[in-house]
Structure 1
Amino acid sequence: MLDCILQTLSSWGTSSIEEVASTGPGIRFFQLSVYKDRNVVIQLVKRAESAGFKAIALTVDSPRLGRREADIKNRFTLPSNLTLKNFEGLDLGKIDRTDDSGLASYVAGRVDRSLSWKDVKWLQTITRLPILVKGVITAEDASLAVQAGAAGVIVSNHGARQLDYVPATIMSLEEVVKAVQGKVPVFLDGGVRRGTDVFKALALGASGVFIGRPVLFSLAADGEAGVRKVLQMLHDELELTMALSGCRSIKEITRAHVVTPWDNPHVAPRL
């Protein structure tokens, strides 16, 4: 089961690229936030490549940070014993305490708001790694991502933290899948809590799913054992859903296994 699990490491992780790579073999992607200082970006990408990471997940939906009211209320910052480890030595590793959200202030001062599709092509000039565009929820952007040379698309609304009232990613998935016309794989990120959620995403055309909060919560509750347990739970729930839906393999999961509100508003969804 664990052979099919990969990890995406955040640019803002409190463990560095090299520290994560040193933990042993595995398939790893590097999530990239593009800084105003492009030399910083080049360094990050080269380090990920050297450490054996397999792809760059370019986040494109955060030129500005959304209004995260909990962070503002809590005056979010990192504990004094933690830093953004990938930026140690670059004077970029600390999130200063402010009167609202330290993270929002950090992003406003560091992240490049001018990010555009041409930057996908620029990244291709500095790395051999495939570039997945993360943060796409419309057919139009999916088509533009393919035109720009993206090797894949990650349907994501940033955990619904960036903009109120954006659609759930499962609602956006199928139009993105149709837009890319099979040219690149499409992944789903956000809202995956059960194996049935994985099944629905696969039925609607996803090549795979990313999970965040279940892993985070289980890690906080029981460390490595907690993460192993939540992954096993998702695996077992997916397997049971497949069995009860008559699917002997992933390939047998098809669009016919789900009914969505836009198929027929008078028919309740099967899953």
Structure 2
Amino acid sequence: MQSLPLLSHYIQQAQAKLPATVWHYLQSDAGDGRQRNANEVAWQALKLMPRPLQTLHHANTVCEMFGERWAHPILLAPVAYQRLFHEDGEIGTAIACNAQQGQMMVSSLASQTIEQIIQQAQQPLWFQLYWQGDRARTAVLLQKALASGASAVVFTVDAPVKQSLMDLPEGISAVNLAQALAPRPITPGQSNVFDGWMSQAPTWEDVQWLRQQVKVPLLVKGLMHVDDAKRAVDAGCDGIVVSNHGGRVLDHTPTVTAVLPQLVNAVGGQCKILVDSGFRSGQDVFKALAMGADAVCIGRPYVWGLATEGAMGVAKVIRWMRDELEMTMALTGVSSLDDIRQVDLY
């Protein structure tokens, strides 16, 4: 049960190794950090009931989704510009993901090409899509990802226009984008938000258009409201990712623990439900699965590992979180991910 000491070590080492501006970018929030802390505390507040003396038959953490089979349900969430944190970048993360028999979401803002990342991963990866201002530009990026071997598309909608929160150093950029998306010019009296950036943001009609373009599984990431989850199902989406973007976009939102059960009930098994925001241990993963999630996504923890030890650090974070998930399963008397769904939280 060494995951918390491991993460504490990696946090300290990552902060020591990274330039202050890069560390601030990684840890930054929409507000003063309270949302990020609330996400973490909410998972920790849920309690588990020990169940000793249970017989565990063929115990495992195997996760199957969309015809893919992984050794565990811990996916790597999309994180931009990973060469900021280590020269291994996204390729190192992808190699670690493959070594740990898992799945990774490659960011639209990756600092290495999608083709290189998937080739080095030696497995199909998922692609996280940001809207590119209009359908034509978005289609170019989407087709690039699909041609490179992306096996699923995760459309992030809670950051409608994504910008870098720092000046990127020379040699690091979003290499998969044709060019940076510039704000639409506005006239005096117009709003920078409503008439500028938001005029280039996607709508539900664009989700329906995207569904027609994508033959692989399509997930919508960044939903927190029951009605939005239902609308994603109605649009034919194969999954949703319940997320408040780790507190990086809108401050003072509910934690995902507060809304996850409602969305699980609303969807009723009609699509897969993934969840991110605040996962710091294998116990947190267990709790999300007990609440009805099919898998979870981690972000900052694996980047702390990447910053400290490159690909090896990412692999260690995944392995330790999986170890803690297995230990939690053993101590609560369950043998599989399906069994976890029957566990009550306190």
Asked whether the equivalents of residues 170 and 188 of structure 1 are also in contact (C-alpha less than 8 Å), the reply is no
Spell out, residue by residue over 1:99-150, the C-alpha distance to the aligned partner (whole angstroms, 9 max, x if none). Answer: xxxxxx9xx9778644111112111222212210000112111111111111
Q: State which of 220, 226, 231 in structure 2 corresponds to 1:133.
A: 220
Q: State which of 44, 50, 53 in structure 1 corresponds to 2:141.
A: 44
Q: State which of 91, 95, 101 in structure 1 corresponds to 2:179.
A: 91
Structure 1 equivalent of residue 340 of structure 2 = 253
Asked whether the equivalents of residues 136 and 157 of structure 1 are also in contact (C-alpha less than 8 Å), the reply is yes
Question: What is the correspondence of 1:70-149 to structure 2 with a 5 Å cutoff?
Answer: 71=165, 76-87=166-177, 90-92=178-180, 113-149=200-236
* Partner SS, residue 310 of structure 2: helix
Q: In the alignment, does 2:308 pair up with 1:221?
A: yes
Q: In the alignment, does 2:252 pair up with 1:155?
A: no
Specify every segment of 5 or more residues in structure 1 that has no aligned partner in the other structure, as ranges. Answer: 95-104, 260-271
**Deviation, structure 1 residue 254:** 2.5
Which whole-Å CA distance do the structure 2 matches of 1:175 and 1:151 have between them?
18
Asked whether the equivalents of residues 124 and 151 of structure 2 are also in contact (C-alpha less than 8 Å), the reply is yes
Q: What letter corresponds to residue 24 of structure 1 in structure 2?
A: A
Q: State which of 241, 245, 257 in structure 1 corresponds to 2:328.
A: 241
Which whole-Å CA distance do the structure 2 matches of 1:211 and 1:112 have between them?
31
Which whole-Å CA distance do the structure 1 matches of 2:116 and 2:324 have between them?
32
**Deviation, structure 1 residue 248:** 1.6
Q: State which of 298, 313, 330 in structure 2 corresponds to 1:211.
A: 298
Q: Normalising by structure 1, what TM-score?
A: 0.81
Q: State which of 47, 60, 68 in structure 1 corresponds to 2:157.
A: 60
**Deviation, structure 1 residue 26:** 2.2
**Deviation, structure 1 residue 253:** 0.8
- Larger RCO: 1 or 2 (CA < 8 Å, sep 6+): 2
Q: In the alignment, does 2:184 pair up with 1:184?
A: no
**Aligned in 2, Cα 1:85/1:77: closer, same or farther, shift over 3 Å?**
same
**Aligned in 2, Cα 1:120/1:149: closer, same or farther, shift over 3 Å?**
same
Which whole-Å CA distance do the structure 1 matches of 2:321 and 2:199 have between them?
37
Structure 2 equivalent of residue 14 of structure 1 = 111
Deviates more, 1:24-33 or 1:219-228: 24-33
**Deviation, structure 1 residue 205:** 0.4
Q: What letter corresponds to residue 317 of structure 2 in structure 1?
A: V
Specify every segment of 5 or more residues in structure 2 that has no aligned partner in the other structure, as ranges. Answer: 1-70, 72-98, 183-191
The number of equivalent residue pairs is 238
The percent identity for this pair of structures is: 37
Q: What letter corresponds to residue 269 of structure 2 in structure 1?
A: G
Q: State which of 172, 178, 194 in structure 1 corresponds to 2:259.
A: 172
The two structures, once aligned, show a CA RMSD in angstroms of: 2.3
Structure 2 equivalent of residue 98 of structure 1 = none
* Partner SS, residue 128 of structure 1: coil
* Partner SS, residue 222 of structure 2: strand
Deviates more, 1:212-221 or 1:41-50: 41-50
Q: What letter corresponds to residue 80 of structure 1 in structure 2?
A: E
**Aligned in 2, Cα 1:112/1:52: closer, same or farther, shift over 3 Å?**
farther
Q: What letter corresponds to residue 151 of structure 1 in structure 2?
A: D
**Deviation, structure 1 residue 91:** 3.1
* Partner SS, residue 286 of structure 2: helix
Asked whether the equivalents of residues 155 and 186 of structure 1 are also in contact (C-alpha less than 8 Å), the reply is yes
Asked whether the equivalents of residues 36 and 111 of structure 1 are also in contact (C-alpha less than 8 Å), the reply is no
**Aligned in 2, Cα 1:231/1:57: closer, same or farther, shift over 3 Å?**
same
Q: What letter corresponds to residue 171 of structure 2 in structure 1?
A: N
Q: Normalising by structure 2, what TM-score?
A: 0.64
Spell out, residue by residue over 1:69-119, the C-alpha distance to the aligned partner (whole angstroms, 9 max, x if none). Answer: xx4xxxx111111111102xx33399xxxxxxxxxx9xx977864411111
* Partner SS, residue 48 of structure 1: helix
**Aligned in 2, Cα 1:93/1:34: closer, same or farther, shift over 3 Å?**
closer
* Partner SS, residue 23 of structure 1: helix
